[in-house]
Structure 1
Amino acid sequence: MRVNCVGAIIFDASDRLLLIRRGRPPGVGLWSVPGGRVEPGETDAIAVRREVLEETGLRVLEVGRLAGAVDRPGPGGITYVIRDYLAGVSPGAPVAGDDAADVRWCDVTELECLPLSEGLLESLTDWGVLPGRAGGVV
């Protein structure tokens, strides 16, 4: 079974990436971008807005272009089809909610030191969205 999911790649004015620490399976305790399942009847943009609000308390002002997509294995033969979008949020301090155990802004250099969801750093690098990295946003 394939499950449609979305993620939000959000940077602040200091080029820090918004990350949540997962509080529920899959990937409990790992850091990732905010996101989750697309509910029936939702567009990807609506799902991005809902997931970011639920997990961080921040309102998405703009859902931008699709940065990239990956398939990730889940329990019981599920495949998560994850489409990650660039997005911008309203000003404010993020607060962990829903299935996020923690939330933080992370400098790109800190990414290599955190326990990240499988393939996250590689995907963000391959898609050229990380500020200051080869091919990334500058």
Structure 2
Amino acid sequence: MESQRIDCVGALVYDEQHRLLVVRRANDPGRGLWAPPGGRVEPGEDDPTAVAREVAEETGLTVEVGRLVGEVEREAPQGRLYVIRDYEATPLAGTLTPGDDATDARFVTRPELLALPTTTLLISTLDQWNALPS
């Protein structure tokens, strides 16, 4: 039996110094861990709409959504599967403030990111995609 797939998106948002935007997750999966902003695609949304909504909800920033960087699958509760498509995004406006599912939000350099407790396989995946911050 094929597991139920749950469509999700993530945002790889970089600032002018090529630091990466990450949030500390307030809820499971990954409560207390750092990850790019993202979440489930709601019914009727396309990926770019979902990316922009999730970034706004979790960080207060308005972004322009760019190219698809990559896709990963992660285990979800009850034998389901999160299918997460990560897109590059550019901040346009807003004030960085954690909201919704985030207890903190910040732009980080590569050394700062490597020192944080991050979600499963985040660092290796970003490395494979050549998407680590400077």
TM-score, normalising length: structure 2: 0.94
**Matched positions, count:** 131
Note the alpha carbon deviations across 1:75-106, whole angstroms, 9 max, x for none.
Answer: 11121000000000124431000011111111
Q: What is the CA deviation profile of residues 50-69 of structure 1, one whole-angstrom value per residue up to 9, with x for unaligned ones? A: 00000000001x21111100
SS of match in other structure, 1:83 = strand
Runs of 5+ unmatched residues, structure 1: 133-138
| Cα RMSD (Å) | 1.1
Partner of 2:122: 120
Aligned to 2:61: 58
Q: 2:91 matched to 1:89?
A: yes
Question: Would you say the 8 A contact 2:23–2:98 is kept in 1?
Answer: yes
Unaligned runs of 5+ in 2: none
Within 2, Cα distance between the matches of 1:121 and 1:97? Answer: 24
More strand as a share of residues: 2
SS in 2 for 1:59: strand
CA shift, 1:15, in A, is 1.4
Spell out structure 1 runs of 4+ moving beyond 2 A: none
Aligned counterpart in structure 2 of residue 37 of structure 1, from 31, 34, 40: 40
Q: Which residue does 1:27 correspond to in 2? A: 30
3-state SS of 2:12 partner: strand
Given residue 35 of structure 1, which amino acid in structure 2 is its aligned partner? G
